[in-house]
Amino acid sequence: MSGKGNIIYKAKERGLNVPLQGKEAKKLLEQIKQLESRGFQFDNAEASFDMLVQRAMPDYKPLFELVDFMVVVEKRRRPSTRKDTGEMLSEAMVKVKVDGKLMHTAAEGNGPVNALDAALRQALLQFYPDLAVVKLIDYKVRILAESTGTESLVRVLIESTDGNEEWRTVGSSTDIIEASWLALADGLEYWLLKHNKK
- 21 band by pLDDT with thresholds 50, 70 and 90: low
Count helices and strands in the chain by DSSP H and E runs:
5, 6
Q: Is residue 100 part of a domain?
A: yes
Q: Tell whether 22 and 40 lie within a shared domain.
A: yes
Query: For the segment 137-164, what is each residue's pLDDT rounded down to a tens digit?
Result: 999 998 877 666 666 789 999 999 999 9
pLDDT of 61-99, one tens digit each?
999 999 999 999 988 665 655 555 667 889 999 999 999
Q: By C-alpha distance, which of 198, 138, 145 is closest to 167? A: 138
Alpha helices in the chain (DSSP H): 4-13, 22-37, 46-56, 112-124, 176-194
* Cβ contact 179:113 at 8 Å: no
81 and 52 in a single domain? The answer is no
Question: Considering its fold, how many domains does the chain have in total?
Answer: 2
In 3D space, the residue among 161, 160, 126, 92 whose CA is nearest the CA of residue 170 turns out to be: 160
Q: Are 86 and 77 in contact (CB under 8 A)?
A: no
For residue 186, being part of any structural domain is answered with: no
Q: Which of 72, 106, 127 is the last residue of a domain?
A: 127
Residue (of 172, 169, 137) closest to 38 by Cα position = 172
Residue 130: the pLDDT is 94
148 Cβ neighbours under 8 A, 6+ residues apart: none
Please report which confidence band the pLDDT of residue 18 belongs to, taking 50, 70 and 90 as the band edges: low
**Residues 108, 72 share a domain:** yes
What residue numbers bound the domain in which 26 lies? Answer: 4-56
As to burial, measured by CB atoms within 10 angstroms (0-12 exposed, 13-18 middle, 19+ buried), residue 95 is middle
For residue 106, the domain's CATH number is: 3.30.160
pLDDT band with cut points at 50, 70 and 90 for residue 1: very low
pLDDT score recorded for residue 120: 96
Residues 40 and 84 in one domain: no
Q: What is the pLDDT of residue 9?
A: 67
Q: How far apart are the first and last CA of the chain?
A: 31
- How high is the pLDDT of residue 167? 97
Band the pLDDT of 31: cuts 50, 70, 90: confident
Strand partners, 159: 138, 168
- Asked if the structure places residue 92 within a domain, the reply is yes
Closest CA relative to residue 158, chosen from 150, 148, 168: 168
Give the pLDDT mean for 157-186: 95
Domain final residue, candidates 127, 160, 177 = 127
75 and 34 belong to one structural domain: no
